[in-house]
């Protein structure tokens, strides 16, 4: 099997003027104070949420009938946060809000649910909050919807060109005043540093928040297929590599391309832990790619068995969690060495073409969570040693996200 060595590759950056609004943090309550309704620092009504000692992690699981269940990972209690509704298409999340898209008579309806679980950075530490879930509202539009969530805001782009930008500080009043604008895009529209990064067949354009271009320059990006917001910046997955947008000192935007080694198979999707600097993705049938966004470096992770999913943990050891084509969950080192792996617990799901695409993988600081649609289960795996610590059964897991 070919092994592609680590390589740093970047093109000269084009600089664009921008200003980044810094997020306010949430201060902890005074000792012995009665917990008061909290804010996420961006004006989103927190209802009954109050600060808790550690992240209130939960899984959001959508089933084939469109019902959405919140599974508390501490108490293991389950609650339905959205009733069954046909034609569920996709689910996205920013770690607090959940965006659920359903087909609706030639268009798409996007339900936005506040899980009331989130963690806010505050210098060298964080604050976590917990409250009661609630429906924020529903957006409707023509054609399919492309949802991009992260960094306290999200975009919903409908196929007819309508774009809605949802910022936390605008959601307290619901969606009645949510502004819609037209934008030229065929894929993701990423909100980043008070701008929008819009993908189209020709590349990536930078606009202001109304969709008006701020530069005549378009950054080349052939066949854009995915977009992520990392601790370093916004990353687009393109045929030639990764296109990275960062905010420079003073508020300017810079863009550069981290190219794949010549002749290497690319990835169509990159995934990583929230607010971390690493992303990983499947490299055809040749293992996986690990992208160190901070170092602008690709590393090929070879595998003796093709992989179907790969997610970067983003820790100091540069580890990646992957699912192989035999149904094993593997923990890979930064050079592709298998540090640990499970038995083929997902064998039935990955062997069935109708279920393989429904096998989902999410990773947090301690565990990986994998959906097993053939077994009607979600497995919790300690990625320190690949031991299955819990299995949640009696589920129909078609779509999976984590909040908290």
CATH number of the CATH domain containing 177: 2.40.128.630
Q: Residue 40: inside a domain, yes or no?
A: yes
Q: Residue 166: inside a domain, yes or no?
A: yes
Token pair belonging to 356: 């393989």
Q: Residue 87: inside a domain, yes or no?
A: yes
- pLDDT at residue 86, as a whole number: 83
Token pair belonging to 403: 């909040």
How would you classify residue 245: left for phi > 0, otherwise alpha for psi between -120 and 50, otherwise beta? beta
Q: Give the dihedral sign, CA 184/185/190/192.
A: negative
3-state SS, 222-277, equals CCCCEEEECCCCEEEEECCEEEEEEECCCCCEEEEEEECCCCCCCCCCCEECCCCC
The low-confidence residues of the chain, meaning pLDDT below 50, are 1-39, 42-43
Q: Residue 377: inside a domain, yes or no?
A: no
| Backbone phi and psi for residue 54, each to the nearest 5 degrees, phi listed first | -145, 165
What angle (nearest 5°) sits at the alpha carbon of residue 312, between those of residues 113 and 233? 70
Task: Give me the DSSP letters along 61-78.
Answer: EE-TTS-EEEEETTT--E
b/e 125-139 (16+ beta carbons within 10 angstroms → b): eebbbbbebeebbeb
How far is Cα 185 from Cα 205, in angstroms, rounded to an integer? 9
How far is Cα 183 from Cα 202, in angstroms, rounded to an integer? 14
Predicted TM-score (pTM) above 0.75? yes
Q: Residue 168: inside a domain, yes or no?
A: yes
**Number of structural domains, the chain?**
1
- pLDDT at residue 179, as a whole number: 76
How far is Cα 179 from Cα 393, in angstroms, rounded to an integer? 42
Which range of residues forms the domain containing residue 90?
35-182
Q: Residue 59: inside a domain, yes or no?
A: yes
Q: Residue 122: inside a domain, yes or no?
A: yes
How far is Cα 272 from Cα 232, in angstroms, rounded to an integer? 12
CA distances from 360 to 28, 99, 178, 377, 385 (A): 35, 17, 32, 11, 20
Q: Residue 159: inside a domain, yes or no?
A: yes
């Amino acid at each position: 099997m070919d092994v592609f060595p680590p390589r740093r590759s970047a093109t000269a950056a084009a600089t664009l003027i921008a200003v980044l609004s810094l997020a306010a943090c949430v201060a902890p309550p005074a000792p012995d104070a009665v917990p008061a309704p909290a804010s996420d620092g961006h004006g989103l009504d927190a209802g009954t949420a109050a600060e808790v000692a550690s992240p209130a992690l939960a899984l959001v699981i959508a089933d084939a009938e469109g019902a959405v269940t919140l599974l508390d990972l501490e108490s293991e209690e389950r609650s339905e946060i959205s009733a069954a509704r046909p034609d569920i298409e996709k689910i996205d999340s920013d770690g607090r809000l959940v965006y659920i898209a359903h087909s609706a008579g030639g268009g798409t309806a996007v339900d936005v649910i506040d899980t009331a679980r989130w963690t806010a950075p505050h210098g060298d530490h964080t604050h976590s909050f917990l409250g009661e879930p609630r429906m924020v509202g529903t957006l409707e539009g023509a054609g399919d919807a492309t949802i991009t969530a992260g960094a306290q805001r999200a975009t919903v782009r409908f196929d007819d060109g309508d774009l809605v930008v949802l910022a936390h500080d605008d959601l307290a009043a619901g969606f009645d005043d949510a502004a819609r604008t037209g934008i030229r895009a065929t894929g993701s529209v990423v909100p980043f540093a008070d701008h929008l990064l819009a993908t189209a067949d020709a590349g990536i354009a930078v606009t202001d928040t109304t969709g008006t271009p701020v530069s005549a320059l378009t950054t080349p990006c052939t066949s854009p297929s995915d977009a992520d917001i990392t601790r370093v910046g916004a990353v687009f997955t393109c045929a030639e590599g990764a296109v990275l947008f960062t905010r420079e000192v003073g508020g300017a935007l810079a863009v550069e391309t981290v190219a794949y080694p010549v002749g290497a198979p690319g990835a169509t999707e990159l995934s990583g832990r929230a607010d971390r600097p690493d992303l990983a993705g499947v490299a055809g049938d040749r293992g996986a790619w690990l992208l160190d966004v901070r170092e602008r470096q690709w590393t090929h992770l070879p595998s003796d068995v093709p992989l179907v999913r790969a997610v970067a943990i983003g820790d100091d050891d540069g580890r990646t969690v992957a699912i192989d084509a035999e149904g094993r969950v593997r923990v890979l080192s930064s050079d592709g060495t298998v540090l640990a792996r499970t038995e083929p617990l997902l064998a039935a799901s990955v062997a069935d073409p109708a279920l393989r695409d429904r096998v989902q993988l999410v990773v947090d600081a301690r565990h990986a969570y994998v959906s097993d649609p053939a077994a009607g289960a979600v497995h919790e795996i300690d990625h320190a040693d690949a031991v299955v610590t819990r299995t949640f059964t009696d589920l129909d897991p078609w779509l999976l996200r984590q909040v908290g």
